[in-house]
């Protein structure tokens, strides 16, 4: 991916809804310049872009069901589901169609319109895809949108999931290419890009973001954001995670990111990808209400909520609803899965 193309720092592009197919291309230096803006200037720009593309106060509420937990052969340094790390997570088999259908029905009864399934695989086998296709069909049969995060996909697997009715696929870039090898070495950055290309080519909507607070330098945050914005088109959903430092993982002792730097990442994501859902994902509970409020001001318009985000904790639903009410934001239920894990 070429990140060297010049792009001016724009205040606001009044782009039509279809502009996700003609995303501008960004240099890392230009993204860094945005991250380095005076804080109030950055938030003003981000909120202006946000108001130009989204209804004010609309926040998507997303939940995720882990349909196959733990035992993953990858070594992503942030992830408690890797079999390489002693984190106390017990490996579980893929849930049955009946179990997933019951969970999806419960989500629908609670007002959800979309249901996502996460599975801790490096790369599903074709027989795994067949089973997940059954789960997707069951979810679709309830009248829900479907999404999944299953690891690396081959082109024919993406098409099989599309044929089963899959609407969204989550696959994160995690960080900048230059820092990726410090986080995981069982797969390459190009592997990630290839899967995203297969998903896009199959006609499935893309959910793709990353994680900050993994010991990366500021330029790596700029590099991640440039990579995301330079995907063509850029993702429909962009989950931004703040590392949850899980004991037993290699990144457990990482220095936490300054909360205001996290807000800056959210703001720049909004500026670079005006029509993407920018999602506060893992690590939100570490931020506190005031910082979350700044994230909404910076253009976040989706949050993970509920008791679990894969296997890390998340603030409970009621506390989230109270926070949204305090801020005058309108939560909109979807049970969506973009943003964590594979
Ligand atoms: S992030 Fe996904 S691929 Fe990496 S170890 Fe965890 S479950 Fe496996």
Give per-residue pLDDT as tens, 116-168. 899 999 999 999 999 999 999 999 999 888 899 999 999 999 999 999 999 99
187 CA to centre of ligand 1 in angstroms: 11
Which of 74, 77, 83, 171 has most ligand 1 atoms within 8 Å of its beta carbon, as the pocket-test mutant? 74
Which of the four pLDDT bands, split at 50, 70 and 90, describes residue 25? Answer: confident
CA of 337 to the centre of ligand 1 (A): 14
The ligand 1 atom at the shortest distance from the C-alpha of residue 75 is: 5
Least confident span in 147-151, 225-229, 332-336: 332-336
Q: 229-275, pLDDT tens digit by residue?
A: 999 999 999 999 999 888 888 888 888 899 999 999 999 999 999 99
Residue ranges of the annotated binding site are 72, 76, 79, 116, 147, 207, 279
Among residues 114, 277, 279, 284, the one annotated as catalytic is 279
Residues belonging to the binding site for [4Fe-4S] cluster are 72, 76, 79
- What is the distance between the terminal CA atoms of the chain, rounded to a whole angstrom? 21
Q: If we measure between CA atoms, which residue out of 276, 268, 326, 302 comes closest to residue 43?
A: 268
Per-residue CA distances from 217 to 176, 183, 221, 255 (Å): 10, 13, 7, 11
pLDDT of res. 41: 98
Residue 204: CB within 6 Å of ligand 1? no
Q: Which of 45, 114, 147, 264 is catalytic?
A: 147
List residues bridging with 62 in a β-sheet.
304
pLDDT in tens, 58-87: 888 777 888 998 888 888 888 888 888 888
The Å distance, Cα 103 to ligand 1 centre, comes to 23
CB atoms within 10 A of CB 97: 14
Adjacent-strand bridge partners of 331: 59
Q: Which residue has the tokens 């990579």?
A: 227
CB 280 within 8 A of CB 288: no
CB 230 within 8 A of CB 23: yes
| Predicted pLDDT at 341 | 36
Does residue 208 have an active-site annotation?
no
Does the active-site annotation cover 79?
A: yes
Q: How far is the CA of 104 from the centre of ligand 1 (A)?
A: 23
Supply the residue whose CA is at minimum distance from atom 2 of ligand 1.
342
- Contacts (Cβ under 8 Å, ≥6 apart) of 323: 289, 292, 293
Mean pLDDT of 88-105: 89
CA of 226 to the centre of ligand 1 (A): 23
- Answer whether residue 34 shows pLDDT above 80: yes
Does the CB atom of residue 342 touch ligand 1 within 6 A? yes
Q: Which domains does the chain have, with CATH numbers?
A: 24-333 (3.20.20.70)
Question: What CA–CA distance (Å, rounded) separates 76 from 179?
Answer: 12
Q: For the packed helices 259-272 and 28-35, what is the interaxial angle rounded to 10 degrees?
A: 130
What local confidence, expressed as pLDDT, does residue 242 receive?
92
Burial of 136 (0-12, 13-18, 19+ CB in 10 A): buried
Q: Mapped to the 3 state alphabet, what secondary structure does 90-136 carry?
A: CCCCCCCHHHHHHHHHHHHHCCCCEEEEEECCCCCCHHHHHHHHHHH
pLDDT band at 24 (very low <50, low <70, confident <90, very high): low
* pLDDT at res. 306: 57
Catalytic status, residue 275: no
Q: Report the nearest atom of ligand 1 relative to the CA of 340.
A: 1
Taking CA atoms, 216 is separated from 77, 175, 191, in Å, by 13, 8, 21
The half-sphere exposure of 114 on its side-chain side, counting CA atoms within 13 A, is 22
Residue nearest (by alpha carbon) to ligand 1 atom 7: 120
Closest atom of ligand 1 relative to the 72 alpha carbon:
8
């Amino acid at each position: 991916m070429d990140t060297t193309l010049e792009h001016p720092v724009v205040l606001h592009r009044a782009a039509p809804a279809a502009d996700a197919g003609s995303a501008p291309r960004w240099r890392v230096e230009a993204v860094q310049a945005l991250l380095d803006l005076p804080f109030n200037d950055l938030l003003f720009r981000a909120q202006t872009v946000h108001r130009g593309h989204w209804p004010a106060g609309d926040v998507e509420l997303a939940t995720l069901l882990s349909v196959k937990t733990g035992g993953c052969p990858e070594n992503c340094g942030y992830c408690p589901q890797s079999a390489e790390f002693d984190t106390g997570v017990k490996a579980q088999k893929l849930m049955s169609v009946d179990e997933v259908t019951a969970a999806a029905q419960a989500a629908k009864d609670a007002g959800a319109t979309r249901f996502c399934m996460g599975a801790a695989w490096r790369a599903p086998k074709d027989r795994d895809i067949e089973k997940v296709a059954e789960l997707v069909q069951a979810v679709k049969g309830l009248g829900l949108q479907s999404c999944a995060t299953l690891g690396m996909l081959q082109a024919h697997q993406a098409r099989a999931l599309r044929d089963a009715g899959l609407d969204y696929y989550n696959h994160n870039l995690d960080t900048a290419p230059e820092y990726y090898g410090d986080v995981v070495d069982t797969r390459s950055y190009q592997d990630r890009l290839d899967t995203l290309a297969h998903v896009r080519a199959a006609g499935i909507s893309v959910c793709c973001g990353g994680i900050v607070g993994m010991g990366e330098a500021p330029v790596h945050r700029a590099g991640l954001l440039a990579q995301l914005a330079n995907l063509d088109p850029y993702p429909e959903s962009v989950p931004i995670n703040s590392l949850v430092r899980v004991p037993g993982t290699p990144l457990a002792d990482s220095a936490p990111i300054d909360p205001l730097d996290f807000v800056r990442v959210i703001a720049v994501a909004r500026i670079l990808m005006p029509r993407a859902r920018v999602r506060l994902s893992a690590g939100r509970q570490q931020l506190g209400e005031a910082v979350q409020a700044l994230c909404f001001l910076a253009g976040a318009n989706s949050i993970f909520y509920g008791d679990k985000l894969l296997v890390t904790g998340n603030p409970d639903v009621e506390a989230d609803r109270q926070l949204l009410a305090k801020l005058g934001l309108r939560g909109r239920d979807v049970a969506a899965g973009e943003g964590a894990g594979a």
